[in-house]
Structure 1
């Protein structure tokens, strides 16, 4: 167990295992609140280091995921779900596209949050980057107070080859795609196309959400969407919503 492991309430059965991959500029501390929130619903959460985007990064990511799964040992409870944000989402989608179904880290499902689009989006100052990332005052403080957060990294384009692999992913693994409708780094057309290409995908758009969609103002609702997805997975296949809205005035 590390300082970036989050455990469920004592005495309750663990309902699944979640491994989280941060994005550009972020650290493991960026996801403390997110990990704590999922753990409150009895999911074991471990936040890993943000992946790289250079040659060989996929093999290193596979090795890191394997190490995490091996380290958990008998504490690994399925479903095993991999969650990535920004570069973490792109690297995860590209790795899953290799279809290494026999790998120890092979997931029961994937959550891709804030999958970036092609090209760059420049920001003139840290406050500009924060505005693009999140409007949550608490999370802005977390990012600003963490001396290990690499400011300005969102200005660097994600390699096109990595995004090609991520958006070309058509693996038959349940996917939850999350994007904020105010995310300046997102490519909604590419996301919509990807959601239609994937055999089992759900695309959820967060109203008013910015790039750090897991940690923006709507983080409670986003976490609830993820927990709902996790609970559906526990029910097995085919995936069927647990709650159906029969009638609503809004």
Structure 2
């Protein structure tokens, strides 16, 4: 298993920003190869890290600082416990590093209640219904079956759901995610000063890697592009008339 994976913009294109992705429970950086490649194709520099460990802050700082060709904006993307760890870090009352993200994307934030999975098929059903990604997870010997049964530290969840951080947040949740706490997400969205809560129809816990992964990646790119705009986060495309 590699501890990180890197994706760069196609030759001849100017890099538009830097994205660092943090995997979740049981996953590896290879779990996000498709997502990383898709963002890189839109000229973003992407680095994917393993799931958080006890030395997460130091590892994240080293990974960000180690990107020699890093250009802003810098956006941190987390899934599952990766989202919990990132959300808790930016929720701290003071910045904990000289560098700082311009925005965060928190995908598949779990709720406080532990979700126990009985077997691998049930875990796959909770994660994703995308046959390609189910194959990626099944065929990767470093993916740990049963990881979703591990409890998420309550203090980190409290920090995330109690956050009022001024860093722009994009919250992504599948409407079929059995681990999500939609009420808590709604309260978080009301508390954060710069936030968008986006619900993905039919998606499960691995919202970045479910059947609608193309649309979700496009939604993240729209967020990245809006972040680069003047003023930041102003809508770039607005629908004036539609019959659907």
Interval containing the TM-score (normalised by the shorter chain) = over 0.9
18 and 238 in structure 1: CA distance in 2 versus 1, 3 angstrom threshold: closer
Matched, 1:61 2:62: no
> Where does residue 189 of structure 1 map in the other structure?
183
**TM-score, with length taken from structure 2:** 0.96
Is contact 1:69–1:104 with CA below 8 Å preserved after alignment? no
Q: Structure 1 length as normaliser, TM-score?
A: 0.94
- 2:140 aligns with 146
CA deviation string 1:155-176 (max 9, x = no partner): 1221111100011111111100
Give the match for residue 13 of structure 2: 12
**Residues in 2 aligned to 1:245 and 1:161: alpha-carbon distance in whole angstroms:** 41
Question: Contact 1:180 / 1:210 at 8 angstroms: preserved in 2?
Answer: yes
| Alpha-carbon offset, residue 102 of structure 1 | 6.4
Separation (CA, whole Å) in 2 of partners of 1:144 and 1:63: 30
Structure 2: gaps of 5 or more residues: none
Query: Which structure 2 residues correspond to residues 1-250 of structure 1 after superposition, within 5 A?
Result: 4-52=5-53, 57=54, 60-73=55-68, 75-101=69-95, 103-250=97-244
1:243: how far off? 0.5
List per-residue Cα deviations over 1:132-187 (Å, max 9, x = no partner). Answer: 10000000000000111011010122111110001111111110000000000000
Distance in 2 between residues matched to 1:46 and 1:100, nearest whole Å: 25
**In 2, Cα distance between the equivalents of 1:9 and 1:216?**
25
- C-alpha separation between the residues in 1 aligned to 2:206 and 2:146? 14
| Pairs aligned (count) | 242
RMSD over equivalenced CA pairs, Å:
1.3
Q: Closer, same or farther in 2 for the Cα pair 1:164/1:236, shift >3 Å?
A: farther
- Greater CA deviation, 213-222 or 236-245? 236-245
> Counterparts of 2:46 and 2:98 in 1: how far apart (Å)?
17
In structure 1, the gaps of 5 or more residues are none
CA contact (8 A) 2:4 2:29 kept: no
Cα distance in structure 2, aligned partners of 1:86 and 1:219: 16
- Check conservation: 2:87, 2:159, Cα contact below 8 A: yes
